[in-house]
Amino acid sequence: MAQEESTGAPLAFGAHIPFVHELGVELLRMEGGESTLCYRTQPQHTNSFAVAHGGVSMTLLDVAMAVAARSDTPELGVVTIEMKASFMRPARGVLTARGRRLHRTRSMAFAEASIFDEDGQICGHATGTFRYVPKADPAKSVATD
């Protein structure tokens, strides 16, 4: 049986990530140093041009890289050390983010990710560096009301 988040939802990402859950990001693939995520642009997540806000794109890129980085080490978490992103065109509709681990050391991972729109056109690309850490203890998470 799959692990579950405290909300009872499946622990798809291997960790409880409330922000990603709130956005509605779906994990489609997490294996062999690669990841695929899906996100359907929501009106409340758009900018003044009615396209996905840059913060949503940054989140998708960050999570796609992080998931790819730890795809072979589910017992570990990762934290983002640095990230560089480029936005190439507006991100609209159903977005797919694909991440790939480029290199790994004992404590660090180097990754890249791209976001594609529903027509398969690239919307953004990022590279990042991640540090492997022990998974967060859910008992020590921030309490919410």
Residue 13 lies in a domain: no
Residue 54 lies in a domain: yes
- Give the domain CATH number at 85: 3.10.129.10
> What is the three-class DSSP state of 91?
coil
Residue 4 lies in a domain: no
Domain total of the chain: 1
| pLDDT tens, position by position, 96-136 | 999 999 999 999 999 999 999 999 999 999 999 999 999 87
Structure tokens at 83: 């990230």
pLDDT over threshold 80, residue 10: no
Closest CA relative to residue 65, chosen from 88, 84, 91: 84
Q: Is residue 125 a contact partner of residue 88, using CB atoms and an 8 Å limit? A: yes
Residue 3 lies in a domain: no
Strands 26-31 and 122-134 turn out to be unpaired
Residue 41 lies in a domain: yes
- Residue 61 lies in domain: 18-140
Mean of pLDDT values over 10-26: 83
> Nearest 5°: phi and psi at 101?
-75, 125
Residue 2 lies in a domain: no
- Which DSSP symbol is given to 55? H
